[in-house]
Chains A and B, each alone.
Chain A
Amino acid sequence: MSDLLKMTAAQALSSLSKKQISSVELTTAYIEAMEATHELNNYVTSTTELAKQMALDADKARADGNAGRLAGLPIGVKDLFCTKNVMTTACSSILNGFVPTYESTVTSRLWESGGVMLGKLNCDEFAMGSSNETSVFGPAINPWSARDGEALSAGGSSGGSASAVAAGAALMSVGSDTGGSIRQPAAFCGVVGLKPTYGRCSRWGVVAFASSLDQAGPFTRDVEDSALIFSVMAGHDAKDSTSASMSVPDFSEAINSGVEGMRIGIPGEYQMDEMDNEISDLWRQGRKWLEQAGATMVDISLPHTKYALACYYIIAPAEASSNLARYDGVRYGNRIEAETLDLMYEATRASGFGEEVQRRILIGTYALSAGYYDAYYLKAQQVRRLIKQDFDTAFSDVDAILTPTTPSAAFSLGKPVTDPITMYLNDVFTVPANLAGLPGISVPAGLSKQGLPLGLQVLAAPFREDRLFSVARTIELQAQFSLAPARAAGELQ
């Protein structure tokens, strides 16, 4: 079973269907890898007994000729998705011990298709963070190490989801992306991360952060696997009123169609002063690759880009302050007893929410409060429309947009960020897609001088994930990126 962890999902499916391997063998290899990489702190709950049972069931279904599209593939789930009878905490102490009695739509679809659940993955508390350091369980660690050996952040908020796939502790995983929480950790860990169009994947059963921005998406080893699992996750769900009632196309053609004749935009505003040189170099390289593959590169302008972060840091906290009002110590989670109902609420929430979550709830409450609503919340919503209009204009001329995913490679853990705004700047290239509801993908494209993965981001018009896959696959073929982090499970090193 030496090569089990090296297989992509597509390769594993092919071996499973030829009876060369069984899901029980594959799943066992992943369970061993989870144990071997335990110190990376990727999983906050492992469900190994459940995984073994699901693997047996998948093997049986395959033998009976009833194999689903993901039958037998081991998958990790961000601890933000409610999983029936499996503790779900959003990595917050306020949800300590919460065991959902229902399953999120997205994860239901995975299991109905034969996917095997390995466990719940670490993330920033309520998905609020860009380094996984706000998790009550401590940060997920990047399996890649800097030359000096310092432990690096896996990124966030879906740090555990990215790190597990890079470390060989999950074949694929799911996360969520509100401002870059899939694409940034994917770039930091050297894996493919997809944020689908807003409305593609149901938000039902996903712990809500900012409902107009949240979107579920997958982490995979390559672009083909991304399309595979995405096509299972996506689709209309009557239980989410913002779910798009559009059919999900077959992406197998898009993956191999290349970029010949495509027009791909390079937004001048994404060339930022504070960006590392190696990021600019990688971006230039990406442009060349696509040109060589027959695409026409077009300089475009997205004039409101520089306001996206400030706009996001009103809208997301405002929605969060409203969504997180439900954690009141009455219906679920921890309660701190107090004399009166109000004091009980206040004590429970002060003790249950971490610092960054409290900060965002307070900013959001402020922005929505009487006297400030127009100046902050309404203003941010107006700027949001201008940002969306920038993209609408761009996509009337180009088929896709190419940008870096992050302004730098993964940073060290343990250098506490004293200024929250410095942390917010990590999301400068990813936040606009959430504000405009666009699909975006991060694909690993090279290494920094320190030997760390760097990602390129591709954006497309709403519901054109097919174009993301065409462009990202082209970059993947040219980049020939090799996933070989030092701290991965045995054979992936």
Chain B
Amino acid sequence: MTVDKNAVKKIARLARIQVSDEKAELLSADLGNILNWIEQLEEVDTTGVEPLASVNEHALPWREDIVTDGSITEQVLKNSPEVAGDFFVVPKVVE
């Protein structure tokens, strides 16, 4: 398995991590090695095996649809890098 530089840049874009050309080159070797090592899983016959997402396979618990907390705007905003009034501030997204 090879992950070329462009593939690295595509994944990095999906993960929203900025990657320079130089860095993409290094990562391409790194990720390729790791994926090659992981390909040993192909040796395992998994025909008809149900995938296991979590050992906790029972149904998620239900609870009453009621408000259990809230009115903590100040706490929610407390650690934000930039706040205006009761809002998070982000770069402009609509022209």
Contact = CB atoms under 8 A, between A and B. Distances in A.
Grouping DSSP codes into helix (H, G, I), strand (E, B) and loop, the B interface class, with mixed when no group exceeds half, is loop
Nearest to B43: A307
A290 to B, nearest CB: 27
B33 A198 contact: no
Contacts of B75: 101-102
Given A99-B79, A437-B56, A346 B3 contact: no
Contacts of A350: 17-19
Interface in B72-91: 72, 75-76, 78-82, 88, 90-91
Interface in A71-120: 97-102
B41 A385 contact: no
B55 A334 contact: no
Interface centre among B3, B34, B88 (most CB of A within 10 A): B34
A202 B14 CA distance: 31
A307 B31 contact: no
A226 to B, nearest CB: 22
B51 interface: yes
B82 A335 contact: yes
A381 B52 contact: yes
Interface in A379-403: 379-386, 388
- Give the interface size class of chain B: 35 or more
Contacts of B11: 362, 365-366, 369
Given A330-B88, A365-B11, A369-B11, A335 B17 contact: no
Contacts of B43: 307
Interface string A221-240: 00000000000000000100
A332 B17 contact: no
A333 interface: yes
B38 A313 contact: yes
25 contacts: A101-B79, A198-B54, A212-B53, A304-B44, A307-B44, A310-B37, A310-B40, A314-B41, A330-B88, A331-B80, A332-B79, A337-B91, A343-B91, A362-B31, A363-B34, A365-B15, A378-B51, A381-B53, A382-B44, A382-B52, A384-B51, A384-B52, A385-B50, A388-B55, A421-B34
Interface of A: 97-102, 198-199, 212, 238, 241-242, 244-245, 304, 306-307, 310-311, 313-314, 321, 325, 328-335, 337-347, 349-350, 353, 358-359, 361-363, 365-366, 369, 376, 378-386, 388, 419-421, 436-437, 462
Given A307-B41, A338-B91, A388-B52, 14 more contacts: A97-B79, A99-B78, A101-B75, A311-B41, A335-B82, A339-B91, A343-B91, A349-B16, A350-B18, A350-B19, A359-B34, A376-B38, A383-B46, A421-B33
